[in-house]
Amino acid sequence: MQTSTIIFVCNVALVMASITGLCLCSSVFDFIVVSKLYYTVPDHKILINPLMAFWIFPASALSLLLSFLSLIFLSAGPRVVKFAVDHQMILSFFHGFFLCVAAILSSYVSLLCAQNANDISGYAAFATPAQFQLASAWYYSRLRALMVFSIIQSLLNAIVISFLYLGISCKYRTFIEVSEKPTHPDLVERTTYFA
């Protein structure tokens, strides 16, 4: 399998995992959590901090943006490819930097979700009234799923970083090789630096 194929598959998987992460984020941070109505009685301890959304949403959004732009770049016109070849170093730097940020942010989000799911797990197993136990089980399952998808996002971002910027190579071509005319004009293979 060529590197470009691996990166393409990772970007497609990142788009799907990021969209799932955004959906789960919207599911967890509903009206009840945002209004701080999900708490214990009688001490009124808030179980899910609404400010966690400011970590979870950007992590999935950044992964989605980077992977989606990488996929769109595959069908870019010659002007965009020429611009990318001319500014290869700066584009590569920012692409690599934001991929690292997305991987680290997704790892941190998975840790936050795991800690919060652990805090809620006791209430999901046994709590009174029954509605509170059902709500706790509902939030617990979504936080666990969000943790899993955050780990997937982090790993996929790390794989893309490894293949593009850490020297792992499988018959890979750079922008300069892409901009050269193919030996067979009938056969055009588009392999780019980003996707």
pLDDT digits (tens, 9 = 90+) for 123-157: 888 888 888 889 999 999 999 999 999 999 999 99
Q: Is the pLDDT of residue 174 over 50?
A: yes
pLDDT in tens, 28-81: 999 889 988 888 877 888 999 999 999 999 999 999 999 999 999 888 888 988
Residue 52 pLDDT: 94
Q: State the pLDDT at residue 175.
A: 52
Average pLDDT over residues 168-190: 51
Q: How far is CA 151 from CA 12, 75, 158, in A?
A: 16, 29, 10
The confidence score (pLDDT) of residue 75 equals 83
What pLDDT, on the 0 to 100 scale, is given for residue 172? 46
Amino acid 184 reads H
Structure confidence at residue 117 (pLDDT): 94
**CA dihedral sign of residues 110, 114, 120, 125:** positive
What pLDDT, on the 0 to 100 scale, is given for residue 2? 56
Identify any residues that bridge with 46 across adjacent strands, giving them in sequence order.
39
Model pTM? 0.80
* CA dist., res. 107 & res. 101, Å (int): 10
Q: Which tens digit of pLDDT belongs to each residue from 100-128?
A: 999 999 999 999 999 999 999 988 888 88
Name the residue among 112, 138, 142, 143 with its Cα closest to residue 127: 138
Taking CA atoms, 167 is separated from 14, 97, 164, 170, 172, in Å, by 21, 16, 7, 10, 10
Q: How confident is the model at residue 188 (pLDDT cuts 50, 70, 90)?
A: very low
